[in-house]
Chains A and B, each alone.
Chain A
Amino acid sequence: MTPSDRPLSPHLQVYKPQLTTMLSILHRACGVALALGSLMVVWWLVAAACGPEAFGTAQQFAASPLGTFMIFGWSVALFYHLCNGVRHLIWDTGHLLKIENAYRAGYAVLCATVLLTAAVWGCALKFSPDAALSAPIVSDTLANTTPKTEGWQ
């Protein structure tokens, strides 16, 4: 196509940012970010199959400042995409389509994202792995499965 001097029709830059449009593009951005973030889940699982050393490296990275920051970003993107995804599913049933309701649901999604992220990180930071290790149910499981894992190594 040859470029022409004809005026172009108004595009994104002439529109005032609105909550609805911003949330819409944020949904996409978070979706793409989550697809990249799934690489961490893959790494975790593959490392577990490779052995204690590889798994230790993965766990160490997850606990490092950079790893924790990435997991935090992943959790925000996850909860936003999840809550806004539910908003989309509700729209698919024909509800909340009036503009004011779409806005209300948009604010609700933002609130829910903040609350869910805060609640999950509150639990995560409070949870101590040592307590779980000393809990009888975990040691029972360990005792039952230890011979099985040796067979793989």
Chain B
Amino acid sequence: MMDTKEKQGSMRSPLARARGLGAAGHGSGHWMAQRFTAIANIPLTLWLVYSIITLKGASHEVFVAWLGQPVNAVLMILFLLSVFYHAALGLQVVIEDYVHCSCAKITALIGIKFALLALAMASILSILKVAL
């Protein structure tokens, strides 16, 4: 009822009506987050590829000196946050699409989030340990 009333001449914007829709009431949040991290991933991964080439065969000393530079430490942490968040969102959709047994599905959905969070935290702590 509210929908028809709103369509007929409400002051609410289309965006306000769209917010919070969807089966879980999350609206377009997941979709938007996947796009925002995708955009951030473009420069960050290109930077990482460049860095990996310049660090080919580097000794521990050289690598630690490189990661000790604030620019590199910050970019590496941003890369990890953006990429692991993007991976969590993407893997979630893949699991939701192909795993139909609800018990396995929920286990996989929770497991993937825990695993990615743990990996991201381990990497970030390693960066801080080397860089600080």
Could you tell me which A residues sit within 8 Å of B by CB distance? Answer: 28, 31-32, 34-35, 38-39, 41-42, 45-46, 48-49, 51-52, 55-56, 59, 63, 75, 78, 82, 85-86, 88-89, 92, 120, 123-124, 127, 129, 132-133, 138, 141-142, 144-146, 148-149, 152
Contacts and interface: CB of A to CB of B under 8 A. Distances in A.
Given A34-B87, A49-B126, A82-B45, A148 B68 contact: yes
Nearest to B119: A42
A28 B126 CA distance: 30
Interface string B9-52: 00000000000000000000000000100110110010011001
A142 to B, nearest CB: 5
Given A35-B87, A42-B119, A142 B62 contact: yes
11 contacts: A28-B94, A32-B90, A45-B126, A45-B130, A48-B126, A48-B130, A75-B49, A85-B42, A133-B62, A142-B61, A142-B65
Nearest to B49: A120
Given A38-B87, A42-B122, A59 B38 contact: no
Contacts of B41: 82, 85
Interface centre among A34, A45, A75 (most CB of B within 10 A): A45
Interface residues of B, number: 43
Given A38-B84, A49-B129, A63 B57 contact: yes
Interface of B: 35, 38-39, 41-42, 45, 48-49, 52-69, 76, 80, 83-84, 87, 90-91, 94, 116, 119, 122-123, 125-127, 129-130
Contact of B60 (A55, A63, A75): A55
B53 A56 contact: no
Contact of A46 (B53, B55, B63, B123): B123
Contact of A120 (B53, B57, B61): B53
